[in-house]
Amino acid sequence: MGFLYAVTVYAQADPNGKELIGQPAQEWKVTHWLNSSPLTLGSLRGKVVLVRWWTAPGCSFCAASAPTLAKLDRFYRDKELVVIGFYHHKNSSPLNPVEVEAAARQFGFHFPVAIDPEWVTLKRWWLDGRPSAWTSVSFLIDQHGIIRYVHPGGSYSEKDAQEIESMIRGLLEGYSDEG
């Protein structure tokens, strides 16, 4: 029974996360908040939330996407966008929050950053049952806590960055029209 269930879940999970679009985002379980007091998804209702998992050192995809994340945070922070970076440790050395803070500074992350210990939230949101998934995934969540976009990982291409920004603008503009 367990084997059949695992095969069924695995077969249903799209490598790009399309089945997650329109689904409520689950509350995260993260620690060691930087640049912010601890946040919950529930406390961010009414805001658009862009979540990006990242790691350092040595993640060229994370380094390449960092400028886009920093730009989106700078430009849309006052317009009700919250960018959040979730660090997931891939290094063989023990996890050291001071090193995570230094890496976040090096990437120019002035937005909230938390550590996802043991990849608890990353597994629950993305990796469990997904074939060959990247770990540098991004989720765009609307003001009601619904997932509206998934970037399956790797670095953002210019097209990806434009698409994410366009979706952010649309969510921000659409919400202000409704509310």
Calpha distance 179→169 (Å, rounded)? 15
pLDDT for 94: 93
Average pLDDT over residues 173-179: 59
* Mode of pairing for the β-strands spanning 138-141 and 113-115: unpaired
Check pLDDT > 90 for residue 2. Answer: no
pLDDT at 12: 64
CA–CA gap between residue 77 and residue 129 (Å, rounded): 33
Is 6 a domain residue? no
Q: 4 lies in a domain?
A: no
Beta pairing partners, 48: 81
Would you state the pLDDT for residue 13?
76
Domain harbouring 95, CATH code: 3.40.30.10
The pLDDT of residue 175 is 62
DSSP state string for 93-143: SPP-HHHHHHHHHHHT--S-EEE-GGGHHHIIIIITT-TT--SS-EEEE-T
For the whole model, what pTM was predicted? 0.89
**Does residue 107 form part of some domain?**
yes
Residue 3 falls inside a structural domain: no
Structure confidence by residue, pLDDT tens digits, 98-107: 999 999 999 9
Q: Shortest CA distance to 43 belongs to which of 28, 54, 53? A: 28
- CA 122-146-132 angle, 5° bins: 35
**Structural domain boundaries, residue 125:** 24-178
Question: How many structural domains are present in the chain?
Answer: 1
Average pLDDT, the chain: 90
**129 within a domain of the structure (yes/no):** yes
- pLDDT on residue 82: 98
